[in-house]
Structure formats: C-alpha cells, structure tokens
Amino acid sequence: MKLDYVTIFPAYFAPLDLSLVGKAVEAGILNVGVYDLRDWAYDVHRSVDDTPMGGGAGMVMKPEPWGQALDCLLGIGADTDTEVNGRTCVIIPSPSGELFSQSTARELADYARLIFACGRYEGIDARVAQYASSAVEVRELSLGDYVLNGGEVAALAMTEAIVRLLPGFVGNPDSLEEESHSESMGSLLEYPVYTKPASWRGMDVPEVLLSGHHAKIAAWRLNQAEELTRMRRPDLLGRSGDSA
C-alpha cells in the first residue's frame, strides 16, 4: 500500500517513522510520502489560503495548490506511470465528513493507495473534492464530533487504524479478533483485562480468571463486555456486528 499526505505542516508526520507504520515500511508492505502543499503554491508569497467567498470569518484553502498537488500525485497530465495498480482513494479529514469507524478502516485497508488531503483554517475550497472525484474516489471522513485545527492528527489516527489491519502486520493475529469493534465481538466493547500479580495493592484479579475453566471465563468476559457497553456505549447495543 502507498500512503501519501499533503499538508502545510509536514513535520506533523514525523511519528510515521516510528511505531507500527515505520515497521510496516521496513517490512516492505508500506510506502509513505509526505508532501508540503506550499511546493505547489506558485505565487510570490506561496500562499495557500484566501478570504471566504460570500464573506465570513477565517480563511479558506485556495483550490489551485490542491489541484496542482493532486494532478502531480495522481499523474494527471504527465507521461509517467505513477498510477498504482488497484484502487486509489483521496481522504479528506473533516469535521463535516462521514464518521470514520472500524468498518471504514477495513474498507480502506483494501486500497492500493490512499492520499490524505489535510486541510486547515475553515477548510478546503469545495471544488477540490469535486475535481478529485472525477478522477478517483474521494471520502470526507470525521473522527468524531469535535473540531481539530487541521486534518493532520486525524490522518495519523486513521492511518494507524488502517495499517494495523494490513496482511502480515500485527504479530499475533488473535489480538485483532477479540478487541472492541472487531467482527467477532459483535458491537461490544472489550472486556477488562488483567495480568500478574494475582493481587496488587489490595485488589485481586477476578477469581474466575484463575480457575482455568475456559467456558466460565468466556461467559464472564461476555457478561463484562455487555455490562461495560450498557454503561459506556448504549448506542452500540442492538447494532449488527459489522457496523461498529
């Protein structure tokens, strides 16, 4: 998979060299490119923003640098073979996007190439998404109902959710199966987990976990997961397994 990030703050993506993404790059299953939008801003001040048409507060990202950046990354108008075999999706993190979820991560893990367009200020001129969607799939995606200063942190979060699903990634394949929001857990949150010591600062690990009785342990975990979900995320109950 190829992951590209277009941003006015390339330094935000330094963490990609660490952790799981860095390991995936080393393992050769991932290729990462970080691009400074200003490299495609050709006026003297290399400006990327302008006042909103129709008035209002704040600034809007100009379409021209984004158009140049996308043409370049998608190989439009060039005699190069930069188009990757398989599907490409341009992802625009946005508080106005559709909600990003585990099922979105699973869908995106099947693409050959993802291009994250990280907006700032009041957003990117709406014609940019319209233009890109004539060439490739475009998805505006939101992490949740809150506002960030730009798409960078959201792009990193989505990246981590997607990359850990790539084949040949996480060491223990079972660890992907039982966690919250995975298929096999339905739409339940993960049950509480414990490790040694059996007693710590006056608190004991639930006795059933020391019993070695696998059926009882499974029943206890399911009950805990249901209880936790009822308390913290009642919105998840009564949903089918693939929606979380």
Q: How would you classify residue 170: left for phi > 0, otherwise alpha for psi between -120 and 50, otherwise beta?
A: beta
| Pick 19 or 130: Cβ nearer ligand JET | 130
Pairing between strand 60-61 and 49-50? antiparallel
- CB closer to ligand JET, 153 vs 166: 153
Q: Which is nearer to ligand JET, 7 or 88 (CB)?
A: 7
Asked if 62 contacts 49 with a C-beta cutoff of 8 angstroms, the reply is yes
Smallest gap, in angstroms, from Cβ of residue 188 to ligand JET? 24
Alpha carbons 154 and 144: distance in angstroms, whole number: 10
In this structure, are strands 113-117 and 60-61 parallel, antiparallel, or unpaired?
A: unpaired
**Axis-axis angle for helices 19-26, 152-163 (nearest 10):** 60
Distance between CA atoms of residues 56 and 174, nearest Å: 51
Task: Report in angstroms how near the CB of residue 229 gets to ligand JET at its nearest.
Answer: 23
Smallest separation, CB 205 to ligand JET (Å): 37
Minimum separation from the CB atom of position 202 to ligand JET (A): 41
22 or 63: whose CB is closer to ligand JET?
63
Residues forming contacts to ligand JET in the complex (CB under 6 A) are 92-95, 119, 123-124, 129, 140, 142-144, 146-148, 150-151, 154
Task: Give yes or no for a contact between 1 and 114, defined as CB atoms under 8 angstroms apart.
Answer: yes
Q: Which is nearer to ligand JET, 100 or 191 (CB)?
A: 100
Written as one string, the DSSP assignment of 14-49 is GGGGSHHHHHHHHTTS-EEEEEEGGGG--STT---E
Residue type for 108, please? L
Q: Which helix (H) or strand (E) holds 185?
A: none
- Residue 37: CB minimum distance to ligand JET, A: 13
Residue 64 CB, shortest distance to ligand JET, in Å, is 15
Cβ-proximal residue to ligand JET, closest one = 123
Task: Pick the closer one to ligand JET by CB: 6 or 148.
Answer: 148
In the block, tokens 């809007």 appear at: 60
